[in-house]
Chain A
Amino acid sequence: MAEDHDILSEEDSVWAEDAPAAVDLPLRDPLVNVLLIVALSLVVTLIATTGALYVYLGTLNKAPRTMTERDVAVSETLIAERPNDVSSWAAVAYAYARAGRYDDALDAVSRGAKLDNGEAMAVVKADVLRSAGRLKEAVAAYDFAEEQTKKLRERIRIEQAKVGINRDILDDGALFQVFWGRALAREALGDTKGAIKDYVLASEENPRQSTLWVSLGDLYLKSDETSRAVEAYRSALTYTPDLPEALDGLKRAEEGQ
């Protein structure tokens, strides 16, 4: 403060000596000067920020930084290498959906469907719609996927019968995926009965999924069907004996009983 005072005093005296000449010049508004300095500083800041951005962009090597980015990068590479492979389009659709790029995901689905409009892309489309929160459309898409998958199974069965093969179709998990996906969509829509029905169908396709049994148990509990809930949680514990969610659910269900 003392220094400032000295400087001002010194300037003051100099100013006073030159006062007649200075008074002739138009004086700029001090606030305008301040605003001018701020504006110029902002211009410098902008230039520096743009420079930093440019340098940063130069150091980026497009290496993924998260699992989502990795999935997108790897599946895009797959598409570039095998553009006529439906599974590549399915992989990139799922990767885009995980990254929240739902429009790109649906675009990938439609491109894949152009190659093969079978049950596989139908399931992918339904899963993508569910991820995007378009639940009613997802349920309809799962219905279509179920129909397609059952048709495919029937077709394979007939072809096998023609050549004398009579055995169960090897389960590829497609129906399980359809039922579980539709159950999740219905649960999110608040359709508890529909969701329970689909969880049951899914458990019939693949009873070894303990998390599915937990979801089913939770819905039974919500519907006050405690004995069925207990049964579902116990089924979960059969496959994963220390699953905390199942243990917790079982405790709640038994308390309810």
Chain B
Amino acid sequence: MAQQPASHPLRPRVLLTIAIVLLLAILLALVVVFYNLIKPTGLPGGTQGIDGMVWVRSMYGFGPTEDEQLRQPSSVAIAPNGDIYATDPMRARVMIFRSDGTFRRLLHTAGGGTEKGMFIRPEAIDIDDAGDVYIADSWAGKIIVFDSQGRYSREWPVEGQARGVGIADGRVYVLDIGRVLIYSREGEKLAAFGARGNMPGQIDAYQGITARKGVIYVADSLNKRLQAFDESGSVLWTVPGGPASRSGPRPSEAPTDSSSASEAVPDHRWDLPQDLVFDGHNRLVVADAFQFELTVVDPRSGKAQARFGEYGREEGQFYYPTSIAYDPVRDWFAVADTNNNRIQIVRIPDSANPSAAVGWRAISSPFRYLAIPALLLLAAIILGLWSSRRLWGRRSALDGSEESVW
């Protein structure tokens, strides 16, 4: 027969149960406080916009005053470690954010200037695999390079205006208004082609340039078209804007087979394609400032396949999106939403293999802190169950031995 506890058995049970309930209530209250701190004020009803584009977060600056915020950011780039760089040209500085949206630091050059290591108007930015940051300064007419720690590394002058910069295949592609200039990473000029104009092969652009496997893609903004060149400057394709219509099909209506892309959006209208980037599925994604959209394009033909986004000031909407960068690890895009004075992080469907990014998506969520109490509670429950099993085991063993004695 089991020995009875010395005191009344119900009293400690009741007291402990009350204590646990109270502790759980306090924990719940803490989680609610945490959630409200993390959840930004003024989010629209859902973060999923039209056509499946998902808003992740916005970054405005590093403080509440206007001086501490971005003012018409013109370009954005993502470093290999996920840091997001945004040019703030009017204040001659670059803001660096961590991938979770918190501010890391400023890259500025003590007021700007034409001296070495200083910039006047950092117009465009890109980052190479080593984390070196290349900034095109359109007013100073140079490319200036900083290392991943923000230390000045090198610079070189550019003929004309340095409006756009793209790093690919170990080369630095610079876009003047009407020309493409190709440099080594150290600034040695390798090639140049193009002329300003609106004929096929001519360029009249702001900043959008990228390259892959020897093909150079240019967002020919003022000509309202995209163009692809080989390294000698020969035009591979030119896709002019279609008739004046915004009624092309949304992705849900578009054919899924990319080979029929030419039929997907036959009348796509380019209004001001400003920048372009490759996603994880080797598709070009173009930011069109005057259409307030991101457009997915087949890089083989230049045909538009899908469109995402709409005009507005709310999170997930755009007001002159002028630059775009892609993070293949986290499978998201950083968009310089220029007239909304912010950088937005968004995801669009089919930009990467989702399973590869699930872990990173979870870790990079601002709500990850909420997992801490949940994980601890889970550990407590497991520990409690394990202990009870042991205790009940002991108890049974003891009861057995006592019964045998009796």
Q: Interface on A for B, CB 8 Å cutoff?
A: 4, 8, 11-12, 15-16, 19, 22-23, 26-39, 41-46, 48-50, 52-53, 56-57, 59-70, 72-74, 76-77, 98-100, 242, 244
Contact = CB atoms under 8 A, between A and B. Distances in A.
A201 B101 CA distance: 46
Given A33-B387, A42-B24, A70-B69, A65 B57 contact: yes
Contacts of B398: 15, 19, 22, 27
27 contacts: A11-B397, A15-B401, A19-B405, A26-B3, A30-B392, A30-B395, A35-B20, A37-B383, A39-B16, A39-B20, A42-B23, A43-B23, A45-B380, A48-B372, A48-B376, A49-B27, A49-B30, A49-B34, A49-B373, A53-B33, A61-B102, A64-B60, A65-B101, A66-B41, A67-B314, A70-B69, A242-B247
B111 interface: no
A56 B37 contact: yes
A33 B388 contact: yes
A77 B69 CA distance: 12
B285 to A, nearest CB: 23
A76 B64 contact: yes
Interface of B: 3, 5-6, 9, 12-13, 16-17, 19-20, 23-24, 26-27, 30-31, 33-34, 37-38, 40-43, 57-66, 68-69, 101-103, 244-247, 313-315, 340-342, 369, 372-373, 376-377, 379-381, 383-384, 387-388, 391-395, 397-398, 400-402, 405
A46 to B, nearest CB: 6
A197 to B, nearest CB: 30
Given A38-B380, A61-B103, A99 B37 contact: no
B19 to A, nearest CB: 5
Contacts of A77: 64-66
A34 B388 contact: yes
B383 A63 contact: no
Contact of B376 (A35, A49, A99): A49
Contacts of B33: 53
A142 B191 CA distance: 66
B394 to A, nearest CB: 7
B13 A23 contact: no
Contacts of B391: 30, 33-34
B23 to A, nearest CB: 4
A73 B61 CA distance: 11
A63 B342 CA distance: 12
A62 B5 contact: no
Given A35-B16, A44-B380, A15 B27 contact: no
Nearest to B7: A26
B40 A66 contact: yes
Given A27-B3, A44-B380, A74 B397 contact: no
B60 to A, nearest CB: 5
A41 to B, nearest CB: 3
Nearest to B377: A45
A104 to B, nearest CB: 12
B9 A29 contact: yes
Nearest to B379: A41
A207 B341 CA distance: 30
Nearest to A98: B42
B40 A69 contact: yes
Instruction: Please name the 5 residue pairs, one residue from A and one from B, whose CB atoms are nearest each other, closest first.
Output: A68-B42, A41-B380, A26-B6, A73-B64, A35-B16
Given A37-B383, A39-B20, 19 more contacts: A8-B394, A15-B394, A22-B398, A29-B13, A33-B387, A37-B380, A41-B380, A42-B380, A45-B27, A45-B373, A49-B376, A57-B37, A66-B41, A66-B42, A67-B315, A77-B64, A99-B41, A100-B42, A244-B247
A50 B30 contact: yes
Nearest to B340: A67
Contacts of B405: 19
Q: Which of A26, A63, A99 has the most CB of B within 10 A?
A: A63
A33 B393 CA distance: 13
B377 A35 contact: no
B290 to A, nearest CB: 13
A63 B41 contact: no
B315 A31 contact: no
Contacts of A48: 372-373, 376
